[in-house]
Amino acid sequence: MLMTTADDNVPRRVTYGQLLEQITRAANLFVHLGGEAPGVAYMLPSLVETHVTLWGAETAGYAVPINFLLQPESIAELIKTSGAKILVALGSHPQLDIWQKALALRADLPDLILVRVCPPDTPPEAGVIDLAEALTTQPADHLTFDQRRGGDDLAAYFHTGGTTGVPKLVAHTHRSQLVAAFGGAAMCNFQPDDVFTATFPLFHVAGTIVGGLSCFMAGVELLIMTPAGLRNPMVVPNFWRLVADHNVTIVAGVPTALGAVLQTPIGDHDISRVRAGITGASLLPPAVGQAFKDSLGCTLYEILGMTEASGLVSIDPLQGPGNIGSVGWALPYTQVDVLKLESDGRLGAPCAENEIGVIAIQGPHVSPGYSDPKHNNDVFAGGLLNSGDLGYKDAQGCLYVAGRSKDLIIRSGHNIDPAMIENAMTTHPAVALAAAVGMPDAYAGELPICYVQLHANNEVSVEDLMDHDRHTIDERPAWPKQIKVIGEIPLTSVGKIFKPSLRCDAAQLVVSNLLREEFELGDVMVKTEAGGPRGLCVTVCLSQKDASFQTDIKDRLNAFLFETRVTVS
């Protein structure tokens, strides 16, 4: 565990035996505080204490990992819905507001037992339990309770969907996590002498299953690169030095983070022990995969994971040569099919070879469902998990992801995979990230627009980017109608591109242009919101002097697919 990237930072080293002792103490503590099979929520960055809390909670009852970047209202709702009795949170910190959120939650949830993770000698706080101190009161060599957990018992509630609406809680059982983790350990060919860069956050399934339980099964050494991981701005420029200093063998991270790391020269750092890279959480741009191979001489392998599948669906095996653009084959004990999407939205028969359909999963690692069963509709049905991902299989049964079904750009009935545009755009040497979304169009329904983030200190004209796309995208309908260079493409807390805000921006751009060009109104407030019955709502706020245009504007906007409101104030 590295607290900083400084040359003189002495890492904190914890053996598996020491970790087990702390997990045993934590399990005993949680039962002592919360009674039989308590729910234990936590808001923590990547620390040894986070692993102690997570696995101690699952031993005692069930864990509720929470993204501490969520808004307080969403966090409160998650804790209430989960039934958690205990909250473990990071104490006061100069850069993070986790403790402030924890105290605010206690005001809303007075029965919540608050446990604080903080440095030694931190002054006590009324009504707050210090984790380190409390652990010392519990035995480390045995469990003090008799309620042992079974395979079908609840192990954790992980939240998902927080970027597009109210987060939902996905149930994991002990069996589902163990099956997924075993598949990860086997297909990643983890070895006891491996050193793995643990950069995924521990409120996300990638960090807890692939970067946690799978590694534990093989005795892998985890290198926690500071509590913030690759979100720490000092980690990226020091990444290759840390890889060399700590004899890393497997480099892991989300594609956006690895793309940034690959912009840092390796220099004379000895990284010869690195045998592979692992990435997931979002699609890997081919340019990043190629840059990894060019720089390190080894392959960056892709993983397809899903919270509803206990973290893993398929893996491009590290024993193999690597299949460019592929997420490999299904986990052991798992069946992954690509099914036709029928006109009524239901899943149909299996697709033919290389035919795009919806990826569906069956197996013992599939979650039993959401905490609220009403969310199960169209996702869980008869043991089948509808992933919402589009994909296809080649002649060898190797799986390829073609994007999210909800991310498809439909131009006059022509389905355009945004990944096709994004992959082409990121082959331009000046482009760091690209995100293609559907821009509303009254005639075609949607037209592709691509948002681009450039590498630092790079400049390029939109005309040059347009020309590049026309020479690299074979499908003419997929050529972006517009390309917009922005300072920073929005990302979620785990490094996924956050497209709802880009769709909103595209709609606002279209409506503002229409008001200016057709109605000669240049100072009208236009608000866009993701969600609603049509997925997007656009509100035009007219002043009293422009009220006479209200009906005409509403009629004009009704030609678009989004929900429309035209108000006068």
CATH number of the structural domain spanning residue 10: 3.40.50.980
- Judging by beta carbons within 10 Å of its beta carbon (0-12, 13-18, 19+), is residue 304 exposed, middle or buried? buried
d(CA 296, CA 262): 10
Which residue blocks in 398-498 are alpha helix, DSSP H?
Answer: 418-425, 462-472
CA distance 190 to 498: 32
Residue 92 lies in a domain: yes
556 plus 429 within the same structural domain: no
pLDDT at residue 162, as a whole number: 40
**Are residues 561 and 468 part of one domain?**
no
Give the tens place of pLDDT for each residue, 78-100: 999 999 999 999 999 988 999 99
Does residue 234 belong to any structural domain of this protein?
A: no
Residues 510 and 475 in one domain: no
Residue at 253 is within a domain? no
Using one digit for the tens of pLDDT, what is the confidence trace for 411-451?
865 668 788 899 899 999 999 999 999 999 887 788 999 99
Q: Are 458 and 561 in a shared domain?
A: no
With b meaning 16 or more CB within 10 Å and e meaning fewer, what string describes 407-439? bbbebeeeebbbbbbbbbbbebebbbbbbbbbb
263 inside domain:
no
Same domain, 64 and 112: yes
The answer to whether residue 9 sits within a structural domain is yes
- Counting the structural domains of the chain, the total is 3
Let me know the angle formed at the C-alpha of 92 by 86 and 94, rounded to the nearest 5 degrees: 145
Query: Same structural domain for residues 486 and 557?
Result: no
Q: Which H/E stretch holds residue 279?
A: strand 276-279
How far apart (Å, rounded) are the C-alpha atoms in residues 304 and 403? 12
Domain of 451 in residue numbering reads as 408-493
Do residues 425 and 483 both lie within one domain?
yes
Contact 54, 202 (CB under 8 A): yes
Where residue 323 falls among pLDDT bands split at 50, 70, 90?
confident
pLDDT tens, residue by residue, 25-40: 999 999 999 999 999 9
Does position 224 have pLDDT exceeding 70, yes or no? yes
- Residues 191 and 182: their CA atoms lie apart, in Å, by 13
Most confident of 388-392, 490-494, 526-530: 526-530
> Do 58 and 123 belong to one domain?
yes
Give the pLDDT confidence score for residue 404 in this predicted structure. Answer: 67
Which of 71-75, 129-133, 350-354, 378-382 is modeled with the greatest confidence?
129-133
Across residues 324-330, what is the average pLDDT? 91
| Distance in angstroms (rounded) separating the CA atoms of residues 424 and 82 | 43
What does the pLDDT look like over 243-268, one tens digit per residue?
A: 999 999 999 998 878 988 998 999 99
Q: How far apart are CA 181 and CA 498, in angstroms?
A: 27
Place 280 in a pLDDT band, splitting at 50, 70 and 90. Answer: confident
pLDDT at 286 over 80: no
Strand residues in 309-427 grouped as ranges (E): 314-315, 326-330, 335-341, 347-350, 357-362, 380-381, 384-393, 399-404, 409-411, 414-416
The span from the CA of 260 to the CA of 278, in Å, is 15
Mean pLDDT of the chain: 91
Of 218-232, 459-473, 520-534, the least confident: 520-534
What pLDDT does 413 receive?
56
| 345 neighbors 353 (Cβ within 8 angstroms) | no
Domain assignment present for residue 412? The answer is: yes
Domain boundary among 476, 493, 510: 493
- 528 and 486 belong to one structural domain: no
- pLDDT at res. 71: 79
Return the CATH number at 556.
Answer: 3.30.300
For residues 418 and 557, membership in a common domain is answered with no
Nearest partner of 43 among 35, 32, 54, judged by Cα: 54
Q: Which of 131, 149, 167 delimits the end of a domain? A: 149
Residues 25 and 138 in one domain: yes
Residues 6+ apart with CB under 8 A from 358: 338, 339, 340, 341, 347, 386, 387, 388, 389, 390, 391, 405
Structural domain contains residue 273? no
Bridge-based pairing of strands 399-404 and 384-393 is: antiparallel
> Considering only CA atoms, which of 207, 275, 247 is closest in space to residue 494?
207
* In a shared domain, residues 412 and 537: no
Chain center to CA of 74: 17
pTM: 0.78
> Can you give the CATH number for the domain in which 448 is found?
3.30.300.30
**545 or 477: which carries more pLDDT confidence?**
545
Are 220 and 188 a contacting pair, CB within 8 Å? no
Q: Mean pLDDT over residues 331-338, rounded?
A: 95
Percent of the chain surpassing pLDDT 90? 71
- Range 33-51 average pLDDT: 97
Half-sphere exposure of 259 (CA within 13 A, CB side): 26
The last residue of a domain, from among 452, 473, 493: 493
- As given in the structure block, the two tokens for residue 109 are 């949830």
Determine the 3-state secondary structure of 43 from DSSP. strand
Flag whether pLDDT at 166 surpasses 50. Answer: yes
Does residue 112 sit within a domain?
Answer: yes
